[in-house]
Chain A
Amino acid sequence: MTAQPLSNRRGGSFPAGCLLLFFAVFFLTGLAAFYFATLRPVMSYLAARSWQETTCTVLSSQVGTHPGSDSTTYSVDVVYTYSFGGRAFQSDRYGFLGGSSSGRTGKEEIVARYPPGTRVPCWIDPAHPEQAVLSREPSAEWLIGLVPLVFMLVGAAGILWSLRMSRRVRATASALPLAPAEPFGLLAPPAAAGGSLELKPEATPWGKLLGLTFLALFWNGIISVFVWQASVGWRAGRPDGCLTLFLVPFVLVGLGLIYAVIRQLLILFNPRLHLTLSPGTLAAGQTGYLQWSLGSRGGGVKRLTIILEGREEAQYRRGTSTYTDKSVFATLTLVDTRQELEIPSGSTSFAVPPDGMPSFTAPHNKIRWAVKAHCDIPGWPDSEDEYEVLVRPGGGA
């Protein structure tokens, strides 16, 4: 008598709570930093357009020095007085951003414009006359908020992804006492019943570009903080060799991502391959027909290769990371041509193996079939696209 029924287990675990918390921290940290560095100054700038201009008298002005553990930052410390509505006020606000930052020279130039005793224009909030500012002009420093904006976007995307995955896994898990109507765990697309089906690539060129750009911004945004720290040391004559050496592989990955973004940008100009499969859902032992179209002249494609591939996909967790391993068990070449007349458009027929394993989908384990197309363009990035197709059991099943 064995213990622990196997049939009690469910495969639908997904650490949605942990991931949501992780991405929420990203989102909130990015949001807070973006708010204080960019959003609040911009909002103040817009509000200050209706403020009243008056004359202030500078009491004192100096560059404030704020030593830190890694570097020293500086601020514009100006104190001034002004009168509004018959009352006297004092303020020490120069601009809308506030705080301190690196770069002493710029602050010294500002302070030089406000020697003590001078009368200078300033702007007062008529509704709250205790609010005043010496400079209400936009500052390039506000753009620093775009770095945490990347964190915020990553957090938001992560939260949406976690919620979507959680819903999907819940739906699959609750369906695991399988509906007999879907014995292989998946639904054929409605248009695929028996007629032809225009195949859609799993990732569009624009989608890949956006994904890569996002990743490159995220990675390089983080790395740039440390590169900046290292560069401050080098410029101050106190280079940190260990930090610099440590950063090299990370910078190389960042450069690789930038290369990938540029490459994907170029791929946008490649001709679009249109594939039509008939029937839309293949069956083991059945003959399928594939039509392709690349435009009138093939767009510089010198070799077109299209294969049908069957593979296992196993998803597993190690610690907090999720991995997917793949193993191809069937490869069927549908098209492999260098003929200029054949490349722009054509059709081919092929036989799905009679003992071909049907498509199967469970939360962590899949049997997937896909049409993979490769357009070889000399001297230009090649196009490689994948289109999932469904293979159902043959007539004998």
Chain B
Amino acid sequence: MGWIQVETRDGVTAFVPGETVEGTVSWQLEKPARTIELRLFWYTQGKGDQDVGVVTAVPFPEPALQDRRSFRVTLPLGPYSFSGQLISLIWALEVVAEPGARTGRIEIVVSPWRREVVLQPHSPAG
């Protein structure tokens, strides 16, 4: 049974916009992969149809069946991780091995407060 894993340095999963995220990707595959890349992206969950925005992709050239690589990506200024009544926006780091669409993923939080912004219905704003 193969596996793919993404880890951030020191296990940190909350970041501020513009910060650099460092970590490692490790995998053990049953079949060789032509390409393996790490993607930094966000996606929405909730009532609305899903939106996905891929910000950057880091390829790992010449992947072996079993390997461990480090990565370093810089977060954009937004959007922030948030959770509302209808929509949640979630950031993630995902490793994809092709062919076969084999993946490993971790979720991270991106906001100036290093926590998800919670949108409460009708809360006074001033």
Contact, CB under 8 Å: A4 / B103: yes
A360 within 8 Å of B by Cβ?
A: yes
Contact between chains at A393 and B49 (CB < 8 Å): no
- Cα-based distance from A53 to B68 in the complex (angstroms): 97
Cα–Cα, bound, A308→B125 (Å): 9
B17: chain A residues within 8 A (beta carbon): 183, 393, 397
Q: Does A141 contact B (CB under 8 A)?
A: no
> Which residues from 74 to 107 on chain B have a C-beta closer than 8 Å to any C-beta of chain A?
76-80, 82, 84-87, 89, 92, 94, 96, 101-105
> Which of A183, A355, A358, A360 gathers most chain B CB within 10 Å?
A183
Q: Are A328 and B3 in contact, CB atoms less than 8 angstroms apart?
A: no
Mask of A32-60 contacts with B, CB within 8 angstroms, 1/0: 00000000000000000000000000000
Interface bracket on B: 35 or more
A3 within 8 A of B: yes
Least distance between A320 CB and chain B CB atoms (Å): 14
Contact of B122 among A9, A313, A329, A358 (CB under 8 A): A329
Q: Is the CB of A330 within 8 A of B125?
A: yes
Q: Kindly name the residue among A358, A365, A367 whose own CB sees the greatest number of chain B CB atoms within 10 A.
A: A365
Contact B51 A362 (CB under 8 A): yes
Q: How far is the CA of A327 from the CA of B84 in the complex (A)?
A: 8
Decide if B76 touches A180 in the complex (CB within 8 Å): yes
A241, CB-defined interface residue at 8 Å: no
In A350-397, the 8 Å CB interface with B consists of 350-353, 355-358, 360, 362-365, 367, 393-394, 396-397
Specify which of A312, A350, A362, A394 is in contact with B126 (CB 8 Å cutoff): A350
Contacts of A316 in B (CB 8 A): 47-49
Q: Of A1, A360, A367, which one neighbours B103 at CB under 8 angstroms?
A: A1
Please state if B54 and A325 are interface contacts (CB–CB under 8 Å): no
With contact pairs A329-B122, A365-B87, A393-B17 given, residues A2 and B103 touching in the complex (Cβ less than 8 Å)? yes
Chain A residues whose CB sits within 8 angstroms of the CB of B51 once the complex forms: 11, 176, 362-365
Contact of A312 with B119 in the complex, beta carbons under 8 Å:
yes
Cα(A46)–Cα(B50), bound, Å? 57
B46 interface residue (CB < 8 Å to A): yes
Could you tell me the distance between the alpha carbons of A258 and B78 in the complex, rounded to whole angstroms? Answer: 46
B112 at the interface (CB under 8 A from A): yes
The answer on a CB contact under 8 Å between B103 and A393 is no
B2 beta carbon closer than 8 Å to chain A:
yes
A11 near B87 with CB under 8 A, answer no
Residues of A within 8 A of B1 (CB): 1
Q: Which residues of B contact A184 (CB under 8 A)?
A: 77-79
* Nearest neighbor of A315 in chain B, beta-carbon distance: B48
A308 (CB) vs chain B CBs: closest residue: B125
In the bound complex, do residue A393 and residue B78 qualify as a contact, i.e. CB atoms below 8 Å apart? Answer: yes
Closest beta carbon of chain A to B106's beta carbon, Å: 11
- Residues in A261-314 with C-beta less than 8 Å from chain B: 308, 310, 312-314
Q: How far is the CA of A310 from the CA of B120 in the complex (A)?
A: 11
Q: Does B121 contact A (CB under 8 A)?
A: yes
Other-chain contact of A325, B4, B16, B86 (Cβ < 8 Å): B86
Does A245 reach chain B (CB closer than 8 Å)? no
Cβ of A177 < 8 Å from any Cβ of B? yes
**A residues within 8 Å of B by Cβ?**
1-11, 13, 176-178, 180, 183-185, 308, 310, 312-317, 325-333, 350-353, 355-358, 360, 362-365, 367, 393-394, 396-397
- Listed by A's residue number, 23 A-B pairs whose Cβ atoms lie within 8 Å are A1-B2, A2-B104, A2-B105, A4-B103, A6-B92, A9-B52, A11-B50, A11-B52, A185-B79, A313-B86, A316-B49, A329-B120, A329-B121, A355-B113, A356-B125, A357-B80, A357-B82, A360-B79, A363-B49, A364-B44, A364-B48, A396-B112, A397-B16
Tell me the B residues contacting A by CB distance below 8 Å: 1-4, 16-17, 39, 41, 43-44, 46-55, 76-80, 82, 84-87, 89, 92, 94, 96, 101-105, 112-113, 117, 119-126
